[in-house]
Amino acid sequence: MLIGYVSDERYSALPDVSLEFLDERGQSWPAQSRASGAVHAALPAGKYRVVIQKPGYGAKFSSVEIPSGLPHQFRLLTDSLLGYAWPKWVRSGEASEFRVHSVEPYKLELWRYGWQPEFVRSLGWHDEHAPRAVMQVTPDGDYTQTGVAWNRVGYANSVHSQHVVAPARSGLYYFRASTTAGRQFAFPWVVAPAAPTAPVAVLASNLTWNAYNSFGGRSNYIHADQLPPMPTVNARVELKRYSDAGFFTWGADDYPPLSFDRPEPFNHLDFTEAITDPIEGRQACHLAPAEWRLLGWLERENFACDYYAESQLDAGVLDLGAYRVLIICVHPEYWTRAMMDRVKRWVFEEGGRLIYLGGNGLNCEVDITPDGSMICRNEKIVGLSVEGLGGKESRMHIRHESEASLLGVVFTPAGAMTGAPYRVVDESHWAFDGTGLRNGDRFGEKCLHQRCPGGASGHETDKVSPSSPANLRRLARGLNPDDGGADMVIFDTPSGGRVFSVGSINYVASLPVDEHVSAITANVIRKFLE
C-alpha cells in the first residue's frame, strides 16, 4: 500500500528515510522510503503517529490516517543554517521575532546596510540544554501556501522569546547568523521610519522576493500552479519546464498562494561582501543584494531616504503625501492594484515624483491575503510578448491597465538575459548636465551584475509602448541585441508630477561603479527634489 512520499525543502525525493508508524494502542510498523521517496506499508485502517529519521535531516513526528484520499507528503528539513525575521518588515520601535534553524549553537548579530555594512548590535549566542534544540521542522504538505511557522513548536516559555526591537534609523538591515562549525547565513529586515524623516522614500521589492522564493518547492516560477503528486527525482528529465519545448510557466487557470512566512535563501549576503563587489549567482542580482547597491549609493551621495516594504505601501503605512520623491528599483515586478492606483494618483494628481530604477516592473497584479500570503494573478497566457498576452502589454494590462501609463515603459522579451551600455539620444536634456555625454556616446559600461554582464541595460528591459504618455522624452537607449535595449525616459504630469524610468534590472548594479550612471541618477534626484 502506498502511504505517501518523503521530500526535502526543495521537494526533492528522499530515499532511505526510516519511518515508524505507531497506532493508538502503541503497536509499531516500520517502513523505509524508496528511490522515488515513496513509502509503502501494509497498515490496518486507523490513526497513526509517525516518527521520521534520516541522517543529515531533522527528525520529526507526523500524523496520518489510513486510508486517506491522497498520498501523504512527508517533508524533512536539511541540517543547515537558515533564518528569517517575522514580520519581515516593521517600523522603528516595533518588534520582530528572529526565527533561525540550526543544528548547533549559533551567534546572531544585527547589521545595517548602507555604503558599508555597519554593525548595530550583538543578539548573543543561542543554544539549549537538549540536543539539537534550536533546530526547526517544516510542516508536511505544500507549506509554500501556508508558511513554515517556525518557533511555534517548543517556544511556549516566554524566557525563550526571540524578539528584537527595530532601530530608530530606517533602512535595510540584515541578521547575520554564524555557527561554531563555520556556517553563515544572513537574512534581511526592512525597517521603515516611525514617522517620515526624509523627502525621499525607497521601496524594497519584497513582493518580488516572495514570488521568486522557492523554499518548500514552489514559487511563481517553478510549479507555479501546484506541486506535482510525486517529489522530484531528476528535474531535467521530469519537469516540463525543461523537457517540453512548448511549455510556458503560466498556463493555468489559478495559482495557489505563496506565503511570506518562509526563509529567503536567495537574499543571503556573504558577510565579507562589499558594495562594489560583483554580484554573483543567478538570483542575488535582482533581489535584495542588488537593491542594497541603491541604498548604499544614496548614502554615499548624501541623499537622505526612508525605506519601506512594498507591503507597507499596500497597507497604507507609507504616506506618499509626506514625500517629494518615491524610488522603486531593480525588479519590482509584482504589485497590487491598490499600489499602482495610489502611486499613479500621487504622480498625476498630487505632483509626486517617481523614479523607476529597474526593469520588468509592475508587470503582474498580486492580491495580499489576510493570512500573510500573496496570490500572483498571472492569468492563462502562452508568452510575455503582446501576442502571447492576447494583444495586451503585460499581465497587469490584462487585468487592469498597462504599467507604461505610469512608468512610461513596459517589459518586452527582446534583449532579455543580455547586458549592454546605453547610447545617448537626447544630449540637450538636463539629465546629462555635467557628464560631457553627447548624442551617440555610450555610458553604463561598468556593471556589477554577473548573471547578465555587459552593461547597465540588461537582464530584463522595458521599452516605450502605445500606452506610454504622449509627452514622454526618450533620453537614451540600451544597445542590447534584437533591438532589445532599455528605454531611458522622462515625462511630466499636469499636476507638476514627474516620472523618470531607466527600464533595466541591471541599472542599479552600475550605480556604485559607473560614473555616468551615477551622475545622471544624481541629476534626476536633485531636480525632482526641487
pLDDT of residue 246: 80
pLDDT of residue 419: 99
* pLDDT classification of 247: cutoffs 50, 70, 90: confident
pTM (two decimals):
0.97
pLDDT tens figures, 398-441: 999 999 999 999 999 999 999 999 999 999 999 999 999 999 99
Phi/psi of residue 406, nearest 5 degrees: -105, -45
Q: CA torsion angle for 18, 20, 21, 23 (degrees, to 10)?
A: -170
Cα angle, residue 160 at apex, residues 154 and 166 outer, rounded to 5°? 120
- Could you tell me the domains of the chain? 2-75 (2.60.40.1120), 82-195 (2.60.40), 201-215+255-529 (3.40.50.880)
* pLDDT classification of 389: cutoffs 50, 70, 90: very high
Cα distance between residue 265 and residue 101, in whole Å: 12
Contact predicate 120/168, CB 8 Å: no
Those residues with Cβ within 8 angstroms of residue 8's Cβ, 6 or more apart along the chain or in another chain? 14, 57, 75, 76, 77, 78
Element (H, E) at 528: helix 515-529
Q: Is residue 14 pLDDT above 90, yes or no?
A: yes
Mean pLDDT of the chain: 97
- Return the percentage of the chain with pLDDT > 70, whole number: 99
Selection from 257, 140, 161, 149 nearest residue 210 by Cα:
257
HSE toward the beta carbon, residue 519, CA cutoff 13 A: 13
Phi/psi of residue 19, nearest 5 degrees: -130, 140
Those residues with Cβ within 8 angstroms of residue 68's Cβ, 6 or more apart along the chain or in another chain? none
List of E strands, 81-170: 82-86, 89-91, 95-101, 106-113, 117-126, 163-165
pLDDT tens figures, 285-341: 999 999 999 999 999 999 999 999 999 999 999 999 999 999 999 999 999 999 999
List of E strands, 390-506: 410-411, 419-420, 422-424, 442-443, 457-458, 462-463, 473-478, 487-492, 498-501
pLDDT of residue 158: 67
Q: Is residue 45 pLDDT above 70, yes or no?
A: yes
pLDDT of residue 159: 66
Compute the average pLDDT of residues 204-213: 99
pLDDT of residue 372: 85
pLDDT of residue 349: 99
Cα distance between residue 364 and residue 379, in whole Å: 9
- Return the percentage of the chain with pLDDT > 90, whole number: 95
